[in-house]
Amino acid sequence: MATTEGNPRFRATRAGDAPAKAAVHRDPASAELRSRLEALGEDPAYRGHPLMAELERLAEAHLRLLRRLGKITRISDGFQGQLKALNEVLQLASRTDSLTGIPNRRAMMEDLHAELLRTQRDGGSMAVIMADVDRFKAVNDTYGHEAGDQVLVALAQALRGALRAYDVCARWGGEEFLVLLPATARQGALEVGEKLRKAAAALSVPAAETRVTVGLSVGLAVLERGESMDALIRRADAAMYLAKRQGGNRVEG
């Protein structure tokens, strides 16, 4: 006699397959099918009816499909999670300088653009600082490029440690660093610039059985009304070169 109660395969699916059972209950059409089959199987008028065997076969096929779809969904969800994590890692890497571990030029450009828009919208002030290591070529020529890299790594950490929590320091290129100072007027920028200069002067980096010290030329510029981001950076760069021409290890702007 073919009934839903008497078919051990259908009964096992109903009683022992929790994922399939959950899938059925999540799908209204599947739940309705199961309910109708159970009702028919309990109705004496349909017990032993040839159609019941076919209905049970179709129901089992449907549940097998649900199990497969559930497995595919779990695999897909796992893959999507891995893909999201990988994208986050790649996004972070694309914004990080590989040598020093601080933001790179691309990240700084994005942050500058966002801060410029905020300042123009809300008012207030912002400033940037361009800082360049004095006589860095001599460090590379005397102690080697590995020592030069060690100086840049140590300097990046020292500069970041001298900044406020909301300031941003990025490696702009070579031995140049650009610092974004949100909500900062000229006096505040001068104070931060001097802190950066002192942080660099305090460094003593081991290299080739000696220790390397460096100076830092610092130029700053405060955003003027209607000024573009490029113009602001150019003024900070010009101030930095003025500091170099005056002997280096100083702040101008």
pLDDT, tens only, 115-154: 999 999 999 999 999 999 999 999 999 999 999 999 999 9
CA atoms within 13 A on the CB side of 65: 8
Q: Which CATH number among 3.40.50.1980, 3.30.70.270, 3.40.50.150, 3.40.50.1970 corresponds to the domain 105-252?
A: 3.30.70.270
Q: What is the DSSP letter of 249?
A: S
Handedness of CA 229, 233, 238, 239 (dihedral sign): positive
R_g over Cα of the chain: 34
What single-letter amino acid sits at 104? N
Give the C-alpha separation, 132 to 220, whole Å.
Answer: 12
State the Cα angle at 208 between 172 and 150, rounded to 5°: 20
Among residues 56, 115, 175, 252, the one annotated as catalytic is 175
Give CA–CA dist 215/210, Å, rounded: 17
pTM, rounded to two decimals: 0.68
Side chain identity at residue 132, one-letter code:
D
In this predicted model, what pLDDT tens digit does every residue of 50-93 receive, in sequence order? Answer: 666 666 677 777 777 777 777 767 766 665 666 666 666 667 67
Please say if 175 is a catalytic residue. yes
Q: How many other C-beta atoms are found inside a 10 Å radius of the C-beta of residue 135?
A: 16
pLDDT of 170 > 80? The answer is: yes
Q: In 95-185, which residue ranges form alpha helices assigned H by DSSP? A: 105-122, 136-143, 145-162
The SS3 assignment for 4 reads coil
- In this prediction, residues 93-121 reach a mean pLDDT of 94
User: How many C-beta atoms lie closer than 10 Å to residue 84's C-beta?
Assistant: 10
Q: What is the pLDDT of residues 9-22, one digit of tens each?
A: 444 444 444 544 44
Phi, psi at 3, each rounded to 5°: -135, 165
CA 233 – CA 131 distance, rounded (Å)? 11
- Say how far apart CA 10 and CA 14 lie, in whole Å: 6
